[in-house]
Amino acid sequence: MEMTNAPMAKPSAREFDAVGLRSVSVFGSTGSIGCNTVELLSQNPEKFSVDALTAGSNWQLLAKQAVELGASVAVINDESKYKDLKNSLSGTNVEAQAGNDALVEAAKIPSDMVVAAIVGAAGLKPTIEAAKRGAMVALANKECLVSAGDILIKEAEKSGASIIPVDSEHSAIFQVFDFDNPESVAGITLTASGGPFRDFSLTEMQSVTREDALNHPNWDMGAKISIDSATMMNKGLEIIEAFHLFPVGMDEIDVLVHPQSVVHSLVSYVDGSVLAQMGTPDMKTPISCALAWPGRMAVSAQKLSLADVGRLDFMAPDTARFPALGLARSALQIGKSAPTILNAANEVAVMAFLQGKIGFLQIAVVVEGALESMNSCEMGGIDDVLAIDSEARDVAQNVIKNLNFKIKK
């Protein structure tokens, strides 16, 4: 597979203007990343103005955020909630909109920065639309790079858009990567907490519950991301993301389990130096790094005390207990639509687990089944991506039905 040339995420950021304001739109403002972003924006009104906020179905919180931040537009993806949103914003200066088309139109609003925090495939079109117009994209949506990485990067290169990662691991690499001299980089290492089951045996993992899997030891995250952390699929997806974000080969991306979640990732250089970005496990730090980039902004996160931490442990991941890592690497090596299939099947499998339809270890089985059932093909644009995504979801559902049949027998 030919390596994609990542856009130098370092360049062409718009500085805060003379008044000190940077205009921002937040896509997915009611989710975990979105709420943290909204909190930071509300604490720094002298630095940011807000153009648009969007949410999936939580119109109450969306309306509250829009009024508090003085947003121009609030978009609810679930059109059945439009009247509720519109009524709640009556008498304010916030315009209510709804539906997928409204999401895409909101991405065309000329905000300096778009925070792309919609979870799932729903975030693809608006994020790519923002990149097309040359915005600074603070990227927290994994699907954009995993399912449509080549397409997003090409659009960013054409328009001069900057892709600034919000994910803590990619933000860490972004902060210490020498973009001016990429040939000096020998490799990058993503760190993983290992999730709640890092010390479990395969036998113990067979009987873990939804509640067990959602109980992450270090991070406070949404349900989907928490399950991905428990299976370590989140790290597999991050390998694919890193391949698109940074000018390194797929064999130069490594993973280490680091239970303390203090070292968020590392960059190794040809002279033997290894640079690490460290901090307490708080998403406000990487979000603030993106919002203020290329500068910094004060955040009320707990400060890191290495004396209190006492020790930092690292170990290689166990791919036998966490097969999602191998599945992700395989999908990246196959290329074309394979990562799209991987991601879609994983979303379906995670939802099935959360609904009690399959066991924890079967999440990877469903993903593997979908990858084996579908041929990887070229994708020319976002419509191709969405078509493959839809087909992969159907295939994953069929795999689940067969698994359930086998279990009952």
176-210 residue pLDDT tens:
999 999 999 999 999 999 888 999 999 999 889 88
Residue 220: band (very low, low, confident or very high) from pLDDT cuts 50, 70, 90 = low
Domains of the chain, each with CATH number or no CATH: 22-166 (3.40.50.720), 171-282+305-309 (no CATH), 336-408 (1.10.1740.10)
DSSP alpha helix (H) spans, 253-381: 284-292, 306-309, 324-334, 338-354, 362-373
- List the beta bridge partners of residue 269: 185
Report the C-alpha gap between 124 and 49 in whole angstroms: 24
Over residues 135-162, the pLDDT tens digits come to 999 999 888 999 999 999 999 999 999 9
286 upstream amide cis, omega within 30 of 0: no
Instruction: Give the mean pLDDT of 302-326.
Output: 95
Residue 9: band (very low, low, confident or very high) from pLDDT cuts 50, 70, 90: very low
SS3 helix, strand, coil % of the chain, rounded to 5?
50, 15, 40
Q: Is 176 exposed, middle or buried (0-12, 13-18, 19+ CB in 10 A)?
A: middle
d(CA 345, CA 321): 19
pLDDT at 361 over 50: yes
Tell me, what's the pLDDT at 73? Answer: 98
Positive or negative, the CA dihedral 345, 347, 352, 353 is positive
Least confident of 75-79, 95-99, 209-213, 216-220: 216-220
CB atoms closer than 10 angstroms to residue 19:
9
User: Dihedrals φ, ψ of 333, to 5°?
Assistant: -65, -40
Q: Residue 300 class from Cβ within 10 Å (0-12 exposed, 13-18 middle, 19+ buried)?
A: exposed
Q: How far apart are CA 307 and CA 210, in angstroms?
A: 35
pLDDT value at 18 more than 60: no
CA distance 231 to 214: 11
341 with 331: CB under 8 angstroms?
yes
* E strands in 9-110: 22-27, 48-55, 73-76, 95-98
> Residue 224's pLDDT is what?
82
For 287-302, what is each residue's pLDDT tens digit?
Answer: 999 999 999 999 988 8
What three-state secondary structure class fits 44?
A: coil
Separation of alpha carbons 35 and 284, rounded Å: 10
Q: What is the rounded average pLDDT of the residues 75-103? A: 97
pTM, rounded to two decimals:
0.89
pLDDT of residue 333: 96
Write down the pLDDT at residue 119: 82
